[in-house]
Every structure is written in C-alpha cells, then in structure tokens.
C-alpha cells in the first residue's frame, strides 16, 4: 500500500509539473519574477533593524495569490526566532538581460558578507550563494541558506524528501537537543532570551527530514514547490518547536573554508496553467441600511475578463431564493496587482436576507435592515476593552481571562538601556529613583497595549482621550461590566449601575496620574525587562511572580517573609522625559477631569492639577529643545492641550494659545488637524466656525482625491502596519464634519469606513472586527490568545497589509503577523468613538 501511495503521488506530481511546465518566469518591470500564478520577490521587502525577523522579508513566494514562503536568506539559525539577527541588505542589483537579481547580505556583528544571486531558469529560479571570504570560524555549522514556508498552508499536506513521503504536522512535533546558552545569546542582540531555570542550556530542533530534493504538497497543485540542491543537503525543520510563530524551514548549511559559489538551489513553484484568481467580491458583512448607498467593489485578476452584470438574490421566508436586481458593473481601473469594477445595488431597499451573485461566485448572506449598525461597538466595549484592563483580574463566566498582573510594581530602568520594543532609557533616569529601584504605586489602572502586556503611555493617553470624547459627545449609558477598583476585580456581562465608559476613563486615568505624581512626568512605557516575558502567551498574571526583586537573594529564592524574591522578572519603567508626551497627557488630564467630576472628585482634581503643571513645564522645556517639523505630538498636541484646558477652566490664556496654534496646524496639514477644530466649535463663537469653513472645503477636496486614488475611497496605508486606524480616523472626522458642515461634507462618505471595516476591501471580504459581521468576520487575530488560533471579541485588526511592490494581504489562518492581525488599545478605542459617532450620524 505504501508503494502504491508513493507511485500515486509521483504520478500526480508529474502531471502537475507537466500542466504548468510551459509557463516560464520573467523578470518584470516591478523587479520580481513572475508567471501567471507565481510571484517570486527577491529582497523587495527588507529585514528591519528594529523587530528583526518579522516574517515579512527576504526571498518571498506569492503562490496563486497567497504569500506562502518568505525569509529566503543566509541565516545563522535553523529555525530563526523574532529576535535572531537578520542580515542587512547592503546592495541589490537587477539585471534584466541576464534575468537575475543579486544582493549582498551582511552581518555586521561577525564582519560576514554573502552574495545571493537569483536567476530565472525556465519555470524555476536558481538561487546561488557566493562568498568572497570563507565563513567566520564562529559561524561554521551555523550559517546556512533558509527558505521558510507558511505552516497553515501546508499542514495536513504531504511532502516528499528524496522520494520518501511524509505529512506536514498540524501541531508541532519533532526531536530536539540541548546545548549551552552562550552560543545562542550571541545571536540575540544581547537580550536575555529565555528563563532556563538555571540549567544554562537551550533547545535546538533536529530536522524532520534530510535529502537533496524536497517536494512540498504534491497533493495540492496550488502549493506544490520543488527544491533541489546537488551540492548540499536540504534539511526540513519545524520552527514551531521554539516559538508558536515559527514556520516550516528548508535549510542548507554553508560549507566551511570555501569561497566562490558555495551553494546552489533550484526552486520550482508549480504554476497551474491558465490559472486565474477567483474574484473577491467586497461587501459589508454587517449589511446595509435600506436607505444607504450600496456598492460592491469586485477585485479581479488582470487576466480575468470582467463580467458586465452582477445580481442580487433575496432569500425568502420559505428558504427559496429569487433574483431581485440585476445591474451593470462599472470599471474603476487597475490598483496595484488587480483590476476593479463596482456594482451599485442601492435601489435594493426592502429589508431582508440577500447575497450577491457574480458569474458563478456567490457571496455569503447579508442583511438589509434599519438596525444593522446598532451593535457594532458592543463586543469591543463589553469584552475586548475590559479584558485589556491592567493591574486587575478579569473574569467572564467560567473563564478567568487573567489574574491581577504585576503586583510588585515597576523597577526604574537603568540608564543607557535599549529595549527590544524600541524604547530606550537615556543617560539618566530623569527621576529621583536609583537604577533598578522599585518605583512604588505605579501598579494601578491602565490598559495593556495590544497582544502584549505592557503599558504604552502614549497609547494610554490616546485611549483615555477617546473615552472622554465618547462620553462627552454621546453619553453612552451602556452598563455590562462590573468594575471594583478596590477589590481589583472585573466581571464581564454583569452590570454594576455605572456606565462602563466612565469606569474605563477612571481606570486609565488612575495609571496616568500615578505616573505624573510619582515619577514627576510621563513614562515612555511600563514594559518587560526580560525578552522571554515580552513574548509571553497566556495569563498576564503569570508573567511575573508578583514579588519585588531582591538582589540579596539567589535566583528563584523567596525571602523568609514572602515579600520579595531573587527572580529578575519585574517590569521596568522607562522614564526619560519627553515634553511632547507630557503635553498630550495634559490634554487628556484636562478632559478626564471634566468627565470624572461628580463620579470620582478626588481623581478629577488631581488630573486637573497635573494638566496645568505638565503644560507649563512642557512649554518651558520645549523652548530650548529643537523640534522636527513633523515630530509626533508637537503642534497638534499643543493645540489639543490648550483647547482641553480652556474647555475645563474657561481661562482666556488657553483659548488664545489654542487659536494662535490651530490655524498654523491647519495650514500645515488639514486632514490631520481638522478634527481638533471640530471639537472646538461648541465652545467658540460664530466667527470661529466661519473662519474654519475654507479648511472644511479643502478637506472635502481631500475626500474627493481619495476616490481617484483607490477604488474604495479611503486612505490606504502602505507601510509595515496596515491601515485600519487611518480609515477609522477618516470616518470619525467625516462624522464630525457632517455634524457641523452638512452642506460641505455629505454623510454618505462615512459609510466608506464601515464598508471597508466590514468586508469591502482587498484580498478577502471578511469583517476586520472580531465577531462583527452577519456571517464571516475574521476568525484569528494577534491577541494574547493567538497561540490558540482564536480571537478576543470586538478586536479590530490593522487589516490589509501592503507588501512591496504590489501585494495586499490579510491572513485569516495565521495570526502571528502583528502588522495585519494585532488589535491595539489605541486602535480599538478609536473604533469605539468612530462607532459612537457613526451611530449618531445614522440616527
């Protein structure tokens, strides 16, 4: 039977290879190799010096529309983790005549250079590694060429290594060995990488298979890849042994003592003949109001011939379906890799259950109903936000989301410390505390930043500001969460008689005011001191032992009184002073003071005291501190701070300064600053609104330009973090623009944001908000439960990530890429105020 199965696989392989054998790869004008169904990118996306291995760089394979392989480069580990060293790409040369791309990869720490040349050879590419000098002795047996494959696209499928068949495992299995940790630490930028409980050893995975020819997924033509090397062994590793975000790695070691061409691979991705990507029919999974404009944006392969018609079908009470509308599709044009047409079905306005039919593609069902937007923020406010409350335990029914984290408070970060989350402590502490001294009283309130458990002060400032504006503008009385600050306990789905948003304002303000009072200014962050804690998955309360570190105790020793330990797991406070951050905090404190008055008067008064002090001190510090024109916080933060203090105190000095700064900010960039101006309108006289009108006209021109820029009419971000936040801010600004200037900015533009968030976007049509969508929201997110391939309800994904030069993606079966799947406390509270403003606009 085994013999027959092997023959069957080989026959299938030969048939598939013959099927696609005529499709030669070409080097296109965008400088990557291309055949229909196959894109091979060669260092179009580079490794970063910040977060190192983000699984988004190197030699990448986009295989029948999905990026299935990446990381192709000379690496120093068989299964690279995020903080392993990555090579700098010091040069990249494209030669169209020879159909090759040549790049130099350098490891500065080892003075080690390699040259990688990728050349099109028919329907394959040849990857060759050249060395001008032998590899350093310290890297012998460590330096090798790797190419990593996405586990979710291969588990459950077969592979052949030199004809021997096997299965890619769904869950990590395999053998490991241990070795001294000193070798590993050299590759990790000097960070402590693991709590090895004193053993002094780390684990290394052993290869699953070794040979000279590996064929991945011969049973799945869309994923079939053949790799051959005649001059080196190919080894297949499962990177998930070391980290849940690891990939399947094909690797060959570089030979010691050799120069010139030292390694050659032939990589042949199968290309299905005449393959055309299935249309992606973008529409709102939440549904539509009967009266709103309803436009589906259909994303097409450029080889696909657009159909002239699409239809709407209604599902009746007896389960039967009938076509209720057929209309023309209108070409929008090309946008990066794909072609787009639009299908307007606004005339369909009878409440009911519907789906779109385009050719032989049928979408899942959606609703047309007058109340479809009523609950779009409930999961975010009821579940996601309270789960991210720090320094407090959070329960939901039978499930404890987390216990009380970080009972030991925080240690003062030592001077001249670089942090693995891109923070740094400067040459001094800027506080009265000695390095590594416990700063008491910071373990109160605040919100986890995202999929990790730190408090990013800048984000928390923005968060409280979002809560305050939501409260002041819309007074949401929703009460579904029990919060007891004294007992440090939260229980979901349990009303306690107080509006939840008001309690969230209190919780966030408690931590921020504590920072201002105890440290004297705002900390950059309250974060992990140990890298192993930083990538912790599970209960936040288990990251640390809850006991302050005592240097007089041995490792893992607990004091006799049980009040301290020798475990270096305490979180650190990074306290270098940033007056721009203080300015932003002052604005938030001023608003929080108003919101908390009559609910927590003591905290309200303390917040106002800190708002005035921080504004005064920050202004004095900034006089002698040079500012970059585009520095985050400067200008716009000062505008908002003075506005908030004027609203709170009514003092003339603040409104004068606000007016002085606002118009300069609007001249600099209308789209970034006009929302602050809208917030000022209720507190200014009529002349202010008239003076603002030309800027609103200018903002309307910006909206119109977006219609020409892309088929969705929203600001699409093309960086390493996807753009849901930009789209949400755009929607909020439109809601307030329409509120104050309905004759200039029409309400219909706000629906572009809901359409995008709920499914009308590139790559797929899933809702980007967890559990929000009639049938198909995204199902996996980068949260602290990401190892479970799950989600936290109400999470808003960053969304559709752009990969240079022309590829959009959002994985819904692989949560571990934060740039497309990690919701943040700032982004989700930004969604909360948008949703509140949008629901108000709808009413």
Query: Tell me, what's the pLDDT at 19?
Result: 45
Q: Compute the CA torsion angle 585, 587, 590, 595 (nearest 10 deg).
A: -90
Percent of the chain with pLDDT over 70: 93
Q: Is residue 704 annotated as part of the catalytic site, yes or no?
A: no
Q: Looking at residue 628, what is its pLDDT? A: 54
Identify the residue whose tokens are 């820029």.
Answer: 709
pLDDT at residue 534, rounded to an integer: 83
651 vs 527, 603, 794, CA distance in Å? 37, 21, 40
**Got the DSSP string for 188-243?**
TTT------TT--EEEEEPPSEEESEEEE-TT-GGG-EEEE-SSS-EEEEEGGGT-
Task: For residue 6, give every residue at least 6 positions away whose Cβ sits within 8 Å of its Cβ, in sequence order, or none.
Answer: 163, 165
178 has a pLDDT exceeding 90:
no
Nearby residues of 368 by Cβ (< 8 Å), 6 or more positions away: 287, 288, 289, 290, 294, 348, 349, 350, 351, 352, 354
Phi/psi of residue 133, nearest 5 degrees? -130, 150
DSSP 296-357: EEEEE-TTSPPPSEEEEEEE-TTS-EEEEEEEEEEEEEEETTEEEEEEE-TT--SSEEEEEE
Per-residue pLDDT tens digits for 794-821: 999 999 999 999 999 999 999 999 999 9
pLDDT at 635: 56
Q: Are 529 and 568 in contact (CB under 8 A)?
A: yes
State the pLDDT confidence band at 536, using cuts at 50, 70 and 90.
Answer: confident
pLDDT tens for residues 498-517? 999 999 999 999 999 999 99
- The secondary structure of residue 414, as a DSSP letter, is P
pLDDT at 615: 94
Catalytic hit among 113, 408, 430, 822: 822
Answer whether residue 160 shows pLDDT above 90. yes
2-269: CATH number? 2.70.98
447: which DSSP letter? B
Please state which of the ranges 160-164, 329-333, 467-471, 618-622 shows the lowest mean pLDDT. Answer: 618-622
- pLDDT value at 577 more than 60: yes
Whole-number Å distance between alpha carbons of 347 and 798: 32
Looking at the predicted structure, is the pLDDT value of residue 28 above 80? yes
Ranges of each domain in the chain: 2-269, 280-368, 381-611
If one compares 344 and 49, the residue with the highest pLDDT of the two is 344
d(CA 742, CA 373): 21
Confidence at residue 181, expressed as pLDDT on a 0 to 100 scale: 57
Fold of 280-368: Immunoglobulin-like (2.60.40)
pLDDT for 64 beyond 90: yes
Arithmetic mean of pLDDT over the chain: 93
Question: Are 776 and 765 in contact, with CB atoms under 8 Å apart?
Answer: yes
Asked if pLDDT for residue 18 goes beyond 60, the answer is no
* 93-102, 228-237, 564-573, 768-777, range with the lowest pLDDT: 768-777
Which residues does 722 contact at the CB level (< 8 Å), separation at least 6?
797, 798, 799, 800, 801, 802, 810, 819, 820
Pairing of strands 225-228, 260-269: antiparallel
Q: Are 36 and 274 in contact (CB under 8 A)?
A: yes
CA separation, residue 658 to residues 213, 640, 665, 715 (Å): 68, 8, 10, 28
Q: Is the pLDDT of residue 695 over 90?
A: yes
**Residue pLDDT, tens place only, 304-330:** 999 999 999 999 999 999 999 999 999
What is the CATH topology of the domain spanning 381-611?
A: Glycosyltransferase (1.50.10)
Q: pTM for the full model?
A: 0.93
Confidence of residue 22 (pLDDT cuts 50, 70, 90): low
Q: CA-CA distance, 590 to 607, in Å (whole number)?
A: 7
Q: What is the pLDDT of residue 705?
A: 97
What strand order describes the sheet that includes 164-167? 88-95, 100-107, 112-121, 124-131, 260-269, 225-228, 213-216, 158-161, 164-167
The pLDDT value recorded for residue 812 is 96
Name every residue whose Cβ is closer than 8 Å to that of residue 221 and which is 6 or more positions away in sequence.
Answer: 16, 19, 20, 270, 272
The pLDDT tens digits for 189-222 are 444 444 444 445 578 899 999 999 999 999 999 9
List, for residues 668-694, the tens digit of each pLDDT value. 999 999 999 999 999 999 999 999 999
Q: Closest Cα to residue 372, out of 439, 287, 290?
A: 287
* 378 is annotated as an active-site residue: no
**How high is the pLDDT of residue 58?**
97
3-state secondary structure of 505: helix
Write the CA distances from 583 to 26, 131, 323, 619, integer angstroms: 54, 53, 58, 8
- pLDDT recorded at residue 11: 45
The 10s digit of each residue's pLDDT in 363-388 is 999 999 999 999 999 999 999 999 99
Give the model confidence (pLDDT) of 228-249 as tens digits: 999 999 999 999 999 999 999 9
């Amino acid at each position: 039977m085994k013999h027959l199965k092997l023959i069957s696989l080989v026959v299938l392989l030969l048939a598939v290879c013959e099927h696609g054998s005529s499709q030669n790869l070409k080097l296109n004008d965008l400088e990557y190799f291309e055949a229909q169904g196959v894109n091979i990118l060669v260092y179009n996306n580079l490794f970063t010096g910040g977060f190192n291995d983000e699984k988004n760089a190197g030699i990448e394979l986009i295989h029948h529309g999905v990026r299935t392989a990446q990381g192709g480069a000379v690496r120093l580990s068989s299964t690279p983790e995020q903080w392993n060293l990555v090579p700098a790409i010091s040069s990249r040369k494209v030669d169209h005549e020879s159909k090759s791309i040549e790049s130099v990869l350098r490891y500065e720490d080892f003075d080690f250079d390699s040259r990688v040349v990728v050349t099109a050879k028919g329907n394959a590419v040849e990857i060759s590694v050249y060395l001008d000098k032998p590899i350093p002795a310290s890297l012998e047996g460590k330096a090798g060429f790797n190419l990593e494959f996405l586990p979710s696209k291969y588990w459950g499928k077969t592979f052949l290594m030199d004809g021997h068949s096997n299965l890619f495992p769904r869950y990590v299995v395999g053998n490991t060995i241990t070795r001294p940790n000193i070798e590993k630490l050299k590759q990790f930028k000097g960070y402590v990488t693991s709590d090895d409980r004193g053993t002094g050893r780390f684990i290394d995975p052993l290869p699953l298979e070794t040979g000279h020819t590996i064929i991945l997924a011969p049973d799945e033509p869309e994923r079939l890849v053949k790799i051959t090397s005649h001059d080196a062994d190919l080894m297949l590793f499962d990177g998930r042994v070391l980290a849940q975000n690891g990939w399947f790695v094909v690797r060959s070691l570089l030979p010691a003592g050799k120069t010139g061409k030292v390694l050659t691979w032939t990589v042949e991705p199968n290309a299905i003949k005449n393959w055309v990507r299935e249309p992606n029919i973008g529409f709102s999974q939440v549904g539509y109001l009967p009266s709103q404009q309803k436009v589906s944006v259909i994303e097409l392969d450029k080889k696909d011939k657009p159909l002239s018609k699409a239809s709407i079908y209604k599902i009746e009470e007896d389960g039967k379906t009938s076509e209720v509308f057929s209309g023309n599709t209108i070409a929008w044009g090309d946008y990066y890799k794909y072609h787009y047409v639009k299908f307007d079905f606004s005339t369909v306005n009878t409440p009911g259950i519907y789906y779109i039919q385009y050719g032989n593609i049928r979408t899942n069902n959606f609703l047309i109903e007058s109340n479809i937007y009523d609950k779009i923020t409930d999961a975010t406010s009821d579940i996601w936000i309270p789960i991210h409350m720090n320094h407090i335990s959070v329960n939901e029914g039978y499930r404890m989301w987390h216990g009380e984290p970080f009972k030991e408070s925080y240690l003062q970060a030592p001077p001249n410390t670089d942090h693995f989350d891109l923070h740094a402590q400067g040459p001094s502490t800027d506080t009265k505390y000695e390095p590594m001294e416990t700063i008491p009283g910071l373990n109160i309130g605040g919100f986890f930043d995202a999929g990790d458990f730190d408090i990013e002060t800048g984000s928390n400032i923005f968060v409280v500001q979002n809560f305050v504006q939501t409260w002041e503008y819309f007074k949401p009385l929703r009460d579904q969460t029990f919060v007891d600050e004294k007992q440090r306990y939260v229980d979901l789905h349990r009303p306690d008689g107080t509006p939840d948003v008001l309690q969230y304002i209190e919780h966030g303000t408690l931590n921020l005011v504590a920072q201002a009072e105890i440290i004297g200014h705002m900390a950059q962050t309250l974060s992990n001191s140990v890298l192993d804690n930083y990538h912790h998955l599970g209960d936040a309360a288990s990251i640390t032992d809850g006991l302050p570190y005592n240097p007089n105790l041995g490792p893992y020793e607990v004091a006799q009184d049980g009040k301290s330990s020798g475990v270096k797991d305490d979180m650190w406070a990074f306290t270098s002073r940033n007056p721009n951050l203080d300015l932003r905090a002052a604005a938030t404190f001023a608003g929080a003071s108003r919101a908390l008055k009559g609910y927590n008067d003591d905290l309200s008064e303390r917040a106002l005291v800190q708002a005035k002090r921080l504004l005064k001190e920050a202004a004095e510090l900034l006089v002698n501190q040079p500012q970059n024109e585009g520095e985050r916080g400067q200008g716009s933060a000062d505008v908002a701070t003075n506005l908030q203090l004027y609203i709170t105190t009514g003092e003339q000095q603040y409104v004068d300064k606000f007016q002085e700064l606002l118009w300069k900010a609007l001249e600099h960039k209308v789209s970034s600053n006009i929302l602050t101006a809208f917030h000022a309108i209720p507190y200014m006289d009529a002349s202010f609104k008239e003076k603002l009108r030309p800027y609103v006209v200018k903002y309307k021109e910006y909206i119109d330009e977006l219609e020409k820029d892309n088929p969705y009419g929203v600001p699409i971000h093309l960086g390493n973090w996807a753009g849901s936040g930009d789209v949400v801010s755009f929607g909020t600004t439109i809601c307030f623009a329409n509120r104050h200037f309905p004759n200039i900015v029409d309400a219909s533009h706000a629906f572009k944001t809901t359409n995008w968030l709920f499914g009308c976007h590139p790559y797929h049509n899933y809702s980007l908000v967890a559990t929000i969508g009639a049938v198909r929201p995204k199902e996996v997110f980068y949260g602290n439960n990401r190892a479970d391939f799950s989600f936290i309800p109400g999470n808003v994904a960053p969304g559709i990530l752009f990969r240079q030069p022309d590829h959009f993606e959002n994985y819904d079966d692989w949560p571990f890429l934060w740039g497309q799947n990690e919701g943040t406390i700032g982004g989700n509270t930004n969604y909360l105020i948008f949703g509140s403003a949008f629901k108000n606009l709808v009413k």
